[in-house]
């Protein structure tokens, strides 16, 4: 079973920041938090991952709480093309592509 809990859906206005929460209260010390997204009819796409420090790349920022029991993915300026299902996954670093997906959050970016 997935070790994360996410809201099933969220809306965001185009150009605004999208903040997607994830709870992972049972995360162990050597597990990372990964985020993937899946645009309709495509394969999942890696976004970002982190262990305990906040991370930023060209796509998004990842904020992990100090106790590591929750995290937030931030898309700073959402566009219509960011409409997708976003999955938060906890996984051991060397597991690579062995991922246990939950239901994810369906993000709708509206004009």
Partner 1 sequence: DTGVSQNPRHKITKRGQNVTFRCDPISEHNRLYWYRQTLGQGPEFLTYFQNEAQLEKSRLLSDRFSAERPKGSFSTLEIQRTEQGDSAMYLCASSSPRALNTEAFFGQGTRLTVV
How many residues of this chain bind partner 1 (CB under 8 A)? 22
Please state, in angstroms and rounded to a whole number, the distance separating the CA atoms of residues 109 and 40. Answer: 14
**Of the candidates 78, 100, 86, 82, which has an alpha carbon nearest to the alpha carbon of residue 32?**
100
* Mask for 24-63, x = binds partner 1 (CB under 8 A): ----------x-------xxxxx--x--------------
CB of 38 to partner 1, least distance (A): 8
Residue 89: which H helix or E strand, with range?
A: strand 84-92
Interface with partner 1 by CB under 8 A: which residues?
2, 34, 42-46, 49, 85, 87, 93-104
């Amino acid at each position: 079973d997935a070790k994360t809990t996410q809201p099933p859906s969220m809306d965001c206005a185009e150009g605004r920041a999208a903040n997607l929460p994830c709870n992972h209260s049972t995360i162990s010390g050597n597990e990372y938090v990964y985020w993937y997204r899946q645009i309709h009819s495509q394969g999942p796409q890696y976004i970002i991952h982190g262990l305990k420090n906040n991370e930023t790349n060209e796509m998004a920022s990842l904020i992990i709480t100090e106790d590591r029991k929750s995290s937030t993915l931030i898309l700073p300026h959402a566009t219509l093309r960011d409409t997708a299902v976003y999955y938060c996954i906890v996984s051991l670093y060397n597991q690579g592509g062995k991922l246990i997906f939950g239901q994810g959050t369906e993000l709708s970016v509206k004009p």
